[in-house]
Chain A
């Protein structure tokens, strides 16, 4: 049994179908990159996998005992209001909220976890700062730390390196690699094909549906892969 299985899923907004006939499964230990041009339905698919968006048709099934509270995620855009008062620590720590069940307060372990992730992402010094006053890159790292606090089995990332500078981006991929080595399943949406090919193990190429699903090597050899990688070469 796979962690997550999509069975003939069609996705859309108010009757307008964005992607259809999507069937695939995510196994424990996968490092999957979902790629495709802007507007091809990647973020929508991710929402369906997180079960915060109902498919128009088909279904998304969780297996292997995967519980919703074992998921961590970083959305492409977090609609945080401009005047929301919250410190970075409060935001990161809220990643632990689902683990508490009906227990009212955070434990020492929860707080340590949050501090560790902040250390890992180099935002310890921002702990008491107001979230809304940070730069885009700093906010992104705080939200990533929150996602890492929440992720126990699987981590979903939607364009996670947007707004990060090249040095931090490399560091970020190293951290994700490390998590993957320690058994975390990674699902990353990206329109940066080069990073996807470089770091992940499996590629799903989307455009209104799944055009390709296979290993990175297979993708490089495929016609669509060769075109997409070639077409995106900047250097």
Chain B
């Protein structure tokens, strides 16, 4: 046991691991907060679509020698606004529109990356994530943006509940539903881009979806769902990071598998509680 602790303390003495820990935990927290609203509004596909757009944008930024984050964040925000528009206008068309945008962005990203690096490790790390990808600036940016996301979420918590629970009532009683939907979409874009480097474009949306679904298995209050999913998300990330270091597994995939395991445990617990 003491060996394990020693091992872990050595692990966190590495700067890159410490960076990954800080940025990853903050992003996991943001993803869990936003995820509750996205899942309940049946917008989880938007998170998935955004991650593909993020991949395309980051590959393009690398190809064109742009600063990756500064290019990707605005592009994904624009995509979020577009995706929200189409999914608000009509359900079925919205689904295919999301699929079109995400596969299109994926294709652009692969082309851009193959032209510059020849489809090698870079693209692998975009798609499946790499904790080595985090630079010091990335960590600072992640920390600042995460704090902004968390503060906005707390400040607008009651409005977000109202808009998520019953959009019609919220609109009829004078809440600017469109603005809050937009706020959620923009915050999601930022979170997706931040998490993508580490978790990978293909895996980041699971960080949004799993913790809230897990919490909903057992919680009956909105507030407790938010709280439990935040805790589950951060814990899964930290434990996943440690396991991936010890077992030399890819961090993103390890975190996702851990999330699935916790989901199954909560689902079983929910079944027992509700009996």
Contacts and interface: CB of A to CB of B under 8 A. Distances in A.
Interface of A: 50-52, 67-73, 75, 78-81, 83-87, 90-91, 94-95, 97-98, 100, 102, 104-106, 128-130, 133, 146, 150, 156
B172 A68 contact: yes
Interface class of chain B by DSSP: helix
Interface string B212-231: 00011001111111000000
Interface in B119-157: 154-157
7 contacts: A50-B172, A70-B174, A71-B173, A79-B168, A80-B165, A94-B166, A104-B155
A68 B173 contact: yes
B17 interface: no
Given A94-B162, A104-B154, A86 B173 contact: no
A91 B169 CA distance: 11
Contact of A80 (B159, B166, B173): B166
Contact of B173 (A69, A104, A105, A129): A69
A97 B161 contact: yes
A26 B170 CA distance: 22
Contacts, number: 91
B166 to A, nearest CB: 6
Given A84-B165, A100-B159, 7 more contacts: A52-B172, A69-B173, A69-B174, A75-B169, A81-B40, A91-B165, A97-B161
Which of A52, A70, A95 lies at the interface centre, i.e. has the most chain B CB atoms within 10 A of its CB?
A: A52
Given A86-B165, A105-B158, A106-B158, A98 B175 contact: yes
B220 A130 contact: yes
A85 B173 contact: no
User: Which are the 3 A-B pairs with shortest beta-carbon distances?
Assistant: A68-B174, A69-B174, A130-B220
B168 A52 contact: yes
B171 A52 contact: yes
Nearest to A83: B216
A153 B156 CA distance: 25
Nearest to A130: B220
A97 B170 contact: yes
B165 A94 contact: yes
A87 B162 CA distance: 13
B221 A71 contact: no
A70 B175 CA distance: 11
A98 B219 CA distance: 26
A73 B172 contact: yes
Nearest to B175: A98
A90 to B, nearest CB: 5
B41 to A, nearest CB: 9
A102 B156 CA distance: 8
Contacts of B220: 85, 87, 129-130, 133
A86 B169 contact: no
B157 to A, nearest CB: 7
Given A81-B40, A83-B216, A104 B158 contact: yes
Contact of B219 (A67, A85, A104): A85
Contacts of A98: 162, 170, 173-175
A163 B54 CA distance: 48
B173 A95 contact: yes
A186 B170 CA distance: 19
Contacts of A94: 158, 161-162, 165-166, 169
A51 B168 CA distance: 10
A97 B159 contact: yes
A91 to B, nearest CB: 7
Which of A71, A86, A94 lies at the interface centre, i.e. has the most chain B CB atoms within 10 A of its CB?
A: A94
B166 A97 contact: no
A72 B221 CA distance: 24
B46 to A, nearest CB: 17
A90 B175 contact: no
A85 B174 CA distance: 24
A52 B176 CA distance: 11
A146 B40 contact: no
Contacts of B215: 85
Contact of A86 (B155, B175, B221): B221
Nearest to A128: B221
Contacts of A87: 220-222
A90 B221 contact: yes
Which of B155, B172, B174 lies at the interface centre, i.e. has the most chain A CB atoms within 10 A of its CB?
A: B172
A85 B172 contact: no
